[in-house]
Chain A
Amino acid sequence: MRRALSIIGLQVYALLLAWMQALPGVRTDEAKYLLNIPYPHPPLVRSFMSLTESASFHELLWRVVLATFLVQAVWIVWDMGRDLSVWPRRALALGWLASAGMFLYAGVIVFSPLNALSGLILLWLARRPPQSGAIVGLLWLASLFTAYQAVLFAPLVWYVLRRSGQTIGGSAFILGIPLLLLGLYTLSNPLALTMITALYGRGEAAFTPLARISNVAFLWLLAGSGVVSVIGLAGLFMQPRWDRLATLALTGLFLFKSLPAQYYAILLTPLLIDGTRSALARWQKSGPLITILIACAGIVTARMTIHPFPVTDAHTVMPAIEHSAPSGDVLINGSFGHEWQYESRRNVYRFTESRVGTAAAVVCISACPALSTKLWQRLPDMPVEAWVRKG
């Protein structure tokens, strides 16, 4: 009964987080995955998402699903702490639920939370190795084909395979074949590779090494809401295990080299949780104090990180166009993200003179050439200039 109530309570929390993320509308990265646009990440999860594309509840459905996975994963954390006494175990579970990664990214339709979840599962399996390495192989294949960042957890995968009784050759096979397939997938999608390279190339010069180090430190603090960040890191070094430290190093290097994006913080959270578990095993008597500290840090972090998100322009403009314009395409002048494609059920093109004659609507994020008021009327009260063809 108590467990059932806990599951319900956690689900309410997940729904709240999903609802919070739904308020501003779909962001450009989220639109990419919801529409199954084939970059930058491999196709596994986004293919599933696109199956429900036509449904009016499409976005909310996947926000709830992702938030549920992340929040209910606390049961994995709870099991990781089964050798701890009650208060340290509660502290560990609270550390997961109250991390800034949870507040910020449970319910966001990006894949770093799913990578974090697979990292958590691997850390759990390291303590309870499965009897079949092939199960680990399937999990590894699924996480690689969800998002490239899964590569960061390769040392954990190797460790779990060896603990599950696989020989060195068998472990190399199970670890290597999915990596090879990921390479083949990348080769089969050259435009994606070009766009990723261009994106990172643009960002490379913009950030000094000091700025990058600051960013990594900031993400580390976010990942554990401060308290778990410190305790978790200490715990990882108190009981040093090569696979955890190697994964930590790889993740740190990835965060250093990447463009600063807060959603990467959650990649550190599973490692910090595992480190916290190691630390709490030694500091069991401090369980109540640490639980209180984690709760306070969670409240502070929530207040700092949860802001009313501004509603995206696309979320306002596209429904108005849908309501007002005759059937036809939408042209957009200026730089725009994929959320404009998601918020519309019409074809979206860049503005070109050749398409104006047949378009139903024009959105001017940058200034448009003048449109004839005989043929076009401007929509009032829009955050950006938007014109629809007169019916």
Chain B
Amino acid sequence: MLSLVLPTYNEAKNIESTLTEITAAIGTLPHEIIVADDDSPDGTWRIAESLRPRFKNLKVIRRTVNRGLSPAVVDGFRVASGDVLMVMDADGQHDPRLIPTLYEKVRSGKTIVVASRYVPGGSVGDWVSGRRVLSTVATSLAGWLSAVPVRDPLSGFFAVDRAAYRLIERSVHPVGFKILLEILAKLPRGSTGAEVPLHFRARAGGESKLSTRVQWQFLCQVARLTCVRVTRSLSLSLFLIVCALAAVILLPRIITLLPIYRDPALRANVNATIRAAAEREGMLLSGFSIREIASDHVDVRYRNYRRGDDAVTCMRFPFDHSITLPCGAL
């Protein structure tokens, strides 16, 4: 079954025509349509609710917290019950006639299928040159983050296999507009993808939401996903290297101390000798570290902790509590 999520904000003028067009395109495919509305001031959610008697498979979510396109899509996916999850815009810019094609490609084994503006047959329609440039730059920035090679990782019209989505659901960070990029960056290894050409249509009504804030959110998203990708590839190596280094540093110390772990009598002797020497010399136990253990003496390093450079002395304490000697004395 198909679960189609329509994230909406102030699409009161478009919602009915969009739903009509979608229903006609879907035909007899088993489906549900989920309108996830961000509590639109123009009452989009109210209009959608009123259409439920006419569109039997329609669900409406009125979202009052954590508003935004990506969180709306994630919420829609959360309540979806289909095995193919799909997203498209509700402003008429996406051609609903592509829905069955995307659906069938996911059903035939693709993890994710994207309606793409940048494959042969696709286009951005009547965008002004400034927006074309912006889109091209953004697409280039985002392209290398995708786990599956696609030419339009920023498309708002795509379908994903529900089982694959569930694997990454908790790691998806829904901020901003580009939920597809987030999903593409998080898909597990072995995921497969496909693209179908999309001709981006003019908006049927209402206003674009591509503000400066949204563009800034996109840049932050790319930066974050870049860090995630670099970190993921380096983190296991770094973990192993750090653990190995720690072991290399610690093991020689432990080997030096093995005699006192093996021999309780020697351990007691070393303990008593150091304490007696500390008492005699006025030193603090916390300053001692054992350097070498022999059958008749212990060599220690005493560090006089203070602000700045610490004074460090190496001393030999014979077990017979005779005078303190410098390390290496015969």
Which A positions have Cβ atoms within 8 angstroms of B? 32, 35-39, 53-54, 58, 82-86, 127-132, 134-135, 137-138, 141, 145, 163-165, 174, 177-178, 181, 184-185, 187-191, 194-195, 331, 338, 341-342, 344-352, 354-355
Contacts and interface: CB of A to CB of B under 8 A. Distances in A.
Nearest to B242: A141
Contact of B239 (A37, A164, A174, A350): A174
B145 to A, nearest CB: 13
Interface string B210-250: 00000000000000000010011001101100110011001
B65 interface: yes
Given A38-B289, A338-B286, A188 B307 contact: no
A185 B250 CA distance: 6
B282 interface: yes
A138 B254 contact: no
Contacts of A185: 246, 250
A138 B168 CA distance: 21
B271 interface: yes
B305 A132 contact: no
The 5 nearest A-B residue pairs measured at CB: A188-B253, A349-B282, A134-B235, A352-B282, A134-B236
B254 A188 contact: yes
Contacts of A349: 281-284, 304
Given A86-B65, A141-B242, A163-B170, A132 B307 contact: no
Contacts of B246: 141, 145, 181, 184-185
Contact of A165 (B65, B167, B253, B286): B167
Given A85-B65, A174-B239, A129 B282 contact: no
Contacts of A128: 170-171, 173
Contacts of B235: 132, 134-135, 137-138
A39 B239 CA distance: 25
- Mostly, the B contact residues are helix
A195 B285 contact: yes
Given A185-B250, A188-B254, A352-B280, A85 B64 contact: yes
B186 A138 contact: no
A190 B283 CA distance: 18
Contact of B250 (A85, A130, A181, A345): A181
A45 to B, nearest CB: 15
Interface centre among A54, A185, A188, A347, by most chain B C-beta atoms within 10 angstroms, is A188
B58 interface: no
Interface residues of B, number: 49
B61 interface: no
Contact of A178 (B168, B243, B271): B243
Contacts, number: 134
B140 interface: no
Interface string B275-308: 0000111111111111000000000000011111
A42 to B, nearest CB: 10
B260 interface: yes
B86 to A, nearest CB: 23
17 contacts: A32-B286, A36-B305, A82-B66, A127-B170, A131-B228, A132-B231, A135-B231, A135-B232, A137-B239, A141-B242, A187-B250, A187-B257, A191-B285, A347-B311, A348-B284, A349-B281, A352-B280
A131 B171 contact: yes
Interface centre among A35, A128, A191, A345, by most chain B C-beta atoms within 10 angstroms, is A191
Contacts of A354: 280-282
Contacts of A39: 286
A194 B286 contact: no
A128 B172 CA distance: 8
Contacts of A53: 307-308
Nearest to A36: B305
Given A141-B239, A341-B305, A341-B306, 9 more contacts: A37-B305, A85-B65, A129-B170, A138-B235, A165-B188, A191-B285, A191-B290, A345-B306, A348-B304
Contacts of A165: 167, 188
Contacts of A54: 307-309
A127 B304 CA distance: 47
Nearest to A126: B170
Contact of A138 (B238, B250, B285, B309): B238
B128 interface: no
B306 A348 contact: yes
Contacts of A350: 279, 282-284
Given A181-B247, A181-B250, A188 B304 contact: no
A139 B314 CA distance: 36
A291 to B, nearest CB: 16
Contacts of B330: none
A348 B305 CA distance: 8
A54 B242 CA distance: 28
Contacts of A84: 65
A338 B306 CA distance: 9
Given A82-B66, A134-B235, A165-B167, A190 B257 contact: yes
B247 A347 contact: no
B70 to A, nearest CB: 12
A159 to B, nearest CB: 12
B265 interface: no
A137 B243 CA distance: 10
Contacts of A338: 286, 305
B251 interface: yes
